[in-house]
Homo-oligomer: A and B are copies of this chain.
Amino acid sequence: MHRHEGHDACRSDAPDMLARAEALCRERGLQFTPLRRDVLEAVAESDKAQGAYDIAERLSVPGKRVAPVSVYRALDFLMEQGLVHRIASRNAFIPCAHGHAPGEGVIFLICRSCGAVDEASSADVEGGLERTLERAGFTPTHSILEVEGDCGACRKRARTP
């Protein structure tokens, strides 16, 4: 089990994220288009989960509107490539903090106070889940695990206002 270390730096270091995405697309023979780049950059600019419409609005400038449907398409692409995650309980999107092993379970920690979303992973949880599913005769294809609560920073802030 491990928690992802150095997370904050990761999330705010958008340039690194973009470089990684570009390399990944080149490697896979896919197009890292300007729109996809812009959407990824917009998502990576914040550690809060952002809605597709927020992103569309942020990317729009007078004279050059980006329609939500375009954002959705870019997000679909970025999710397929494992570059962003969707937070089902919020209908919102966050950058993937780091390269996950394919199929590795991710736990999203969503702070109800500051809105930041952290990622964690746990071999214990994953193993327990596998055993539970097997016992139930259930073959999983995809699982989501999202926890809402208070992050350490916000709890500390609440104690010493």
Q: Which of A125-149 contact B (CB under 8 A)?
A: 125, 127-129, 131-133, 135-149
In the complex, what residues of B have CB within 8 A of residue A147's CB? Answer: 129, 133, 138, 140, 142-144
Check if A3 is an interface residue, CB within 8 A of chain B: yes
Among A9-17, A96-104, A116-124, the one that faces the other chain is A116-124
Known A-B contacts A3-B136, A124-B127; the reply to A148 vs B152 at CB < 8 A is no
In the complex, what residues of B have CB within 8 A of residue A138's CB? Answer: 109, 111, 118, 120, 147, 149-152
Interface range for A: 35 or more
Check if A61 is an interface residue, CB within 8 A of chain B: no
Which of B124, B143, B150 interacts with A146 by CB under 8 Å? B143
Check if A65 is an interface residue, CB within 8 A of chain B: no
Check if A73 is an interface residue, CB within 8 A of chain B: no
Known A-B contacts A145-B145, A149-B133; the reply to A139 vs B125 at CB < 8 A is no
Known A-B contacts A88-B88, A127-B124, A129-B125; the reply to A141 vs B150 at CB < 8 A is yes
8 pairs across A/B with beta carbons < 8 Å?
A112-B141, A125-B128, A136-B152, A137-B155, A138-B147, A140-B149, A144-B147, A145-B145
